[in-house]
């Protein structure tokens, strides 16, 4: 299951890199390269300075997955 394979952190988007990738500064102070999941690509538009939920993979240290975009309209993801 997804919860067993990921550790989740909040992050702020620093730069959009193209090809479904972005650079984000996690709230633990680490800058990470993130990959936008296929489920979110072209359905949820992500801009610089948006708050996102990042899944840290335990099996791939350098690759992280964007799990969800923080919605400013509501208090939840």
26-77 pLDDT per residue, tens: 998 989 888 888 877 888 888 899 998 888 876 666 667 767 777 665 555 4
In a domain, 77, yes or no: no
CA distance 51 to 4: 23
CA distance 2 to 56: 11
In a domain, 75, yes or no: no
Domain count, the chain: 1
Domain boundaries, position 49: 2-69
User: Model-level pTM greater than 0.85?
Assistant: no
State the CATH number of the domain containing residue 20: 2.40.50.140
């Amino acid at each position: 299951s997804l919860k067993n394979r990921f550790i989740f952190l909040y992050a702020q988007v620093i730069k959009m890199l193209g090809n479904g990738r972005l650079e984000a500064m996690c709230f633990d102070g680490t800058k990470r390269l993130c990959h936008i999941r296929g489920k979110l690509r072209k359905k949820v538009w992500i801009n610089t300075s948006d708050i996102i939920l990042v899944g840290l993979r335990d099996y791939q240290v350098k690759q992280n997955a964007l799990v969800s975009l923080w919605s400013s309209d509501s208090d939840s993801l």
